[in-house]
Amino acid sequence: MVFVSDKYNFLSVGVLAAGIVLLVHKRHGLAYLLILAAVVVFNDFFCHHILKQIFQRLRPCAALPDVIVHIGCSEANFSFPSNHASNIFTAATMTSFCFKNTFLFAIAFASMVGFSRVYLGAHYPSDVLAGAAWGLLMGGLGYLLHQRAIAPIPAKAH
């Protein structure tokens, strides 16, 4: 589960997937990647600097002394909502909408990351569910932005 929670373990796979998207989908792929990056960065910032500061919920490892923690406990950061869950569900949702045949893999992988956060003792289940719900909204927003970006520009009538 630690492997699934560490975003750096998937960096090379992500770079390879981005390259394939660019090769296969050209302009649409570039629009997808740029908008996905922008939406995930915005989402990460908003969850960490706005939502977590509003709710200020302590992580299970900080609030419950008997919790078994499989990774270091970050008592300095709050837990609600889960940024890991929010970011991965943002990416999974946008990817599922943009590339229809990716739904099962994307949602299964996002769910596995979310589960790993609870298993490792970093989050309560409600942290992950809230992060996933917010990620679904942000991913939907990303899809709408993508659709607008790739829409043909109507010719002006003279």
- In the chain, the domains with their CATH numbers are 2-150 (1.20.144.10)
User: Mind listing the pLDDT tens digit for each residue in 6-38?
Assistant: 666 667 777 888 888 888 888 888 989 999 999
CA proximity to 98, closest of 44, 30, 41, 45: 30
Separation CA 51–CA 76 (nearest Å): 15
What does pTM read for this prediction? 0.82
User: Mind listing the pLDDT tens digit for each residue in 47-69?
Assistant: 999 998 889 888 777 666 666 66
Reply yes or no on whether the pLDDT at 145 is more than 90: yes
User: Mind listing the pLDDT tens digit for each residue in 71-108?
Assistant: 666 666 787 889 989 999 999 999 999 888 989 999 99
Q: Look at the block and give the residue holding tokens 């709408």.
A: 144
